[in-house]
């Protein structure tokens, strides 16, 4: 992990068209394979929604900020092919940009984990 403390988490819910989930999943996995080799990429988790079986949720952690991700990562050429087929596969896509503030169980983010008397210590 780099020394830059800025990180952005993308939480994306994909509402997939009926009977298109596996086609979309294969395209998404291919995209993540390429993304995972980028220097600012940290982690990616792709999940099925138990309550909404046609939905996929992706949780990505990137080094940088929302603005740097939008300027540097979003326009990459390898994303173009994936984006071109989304109209045929998705009903909707909901994107949330998050800043990590606490983490337990792993060390993927740069948030403080030092506590004294129940408070974060810098």
Q: What is the pTM of this model?
A: 0.84
pLDDT at 88 over 70: yes
pLDDT band at 1 (very low <50, low <70, confident <90, very high): very low
Does some domain include residue 2?
no
In a domain, 65, yes or no: yes
Q: Does some domain include residue 86?
A: yes
Residue 31 inside a domain? The answer is: yes
* Range of lowest pLDDT (78-87, 99-108, 110-119): 110-119
Of all residues in the chain, the percent with pLDDT exceeding 90 is: 71
- Residue 43 inside a domain? The answer is yes
As for how many domains the chain has, the answer is 1
98 falls within a domain: yes
Residue 121 — pLDDT band, cuts 50, 70, 90?
A: low
* Dihedral class, residue 105 (left if φ above 0, else alpha if ψ from -120 to 50, else beta): left
User: Three-class SS string for the chain?
Assistant: CCCCCCEEEEEEEEEECCCCHHHHHHHHHHHHHHHCCCCCEEEEEEEECCCCCCEEEEEEEEECCHHHHHHHHCCCHHHHHHHHHHHHHEEEEEEEEECCCCCCCCCCCCCCCCEECCEECC
Q: Is residue 1 part of a domain?
A: no
Range of the domain at 21: 7-103+110-120
Residues 29-45 have a mean pLDDT of: 96
pLDDT tens-digit series, residues 62-81: 999 999 999 999 999 989 88
| CATH classification at residue 48 | 3.30.70.100
Does 27 reside within a domain? yes
Higher-pLDDT residue of 49, 122: 49
């Amino acid at each position: 992990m780099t020394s830059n403390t800025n990180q952005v988490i993308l939480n994306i819910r994909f509402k997939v068209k009926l009977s298109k989930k596996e086609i979309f999943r294969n395209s998404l996995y291919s995209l993540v394979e390429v993304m995972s080799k980028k220097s600012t990429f940290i982690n990616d988790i792709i999940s099925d929604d138990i309550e909404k079986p046609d939905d996929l949720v992706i949780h990505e952690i990137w080094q940088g900020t929302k603005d740097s991700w939008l300027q540097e990562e979003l326009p990459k050429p390898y994303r173009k092919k994936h984006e071109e087929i989304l109209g045929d596969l998705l009903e909707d896509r909901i994107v949330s940009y998050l800043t990590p503030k606490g983490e337990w169980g792993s060390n993927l983010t740069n948030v403080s984990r030092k506590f004294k008397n129940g408070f974060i210590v810098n």
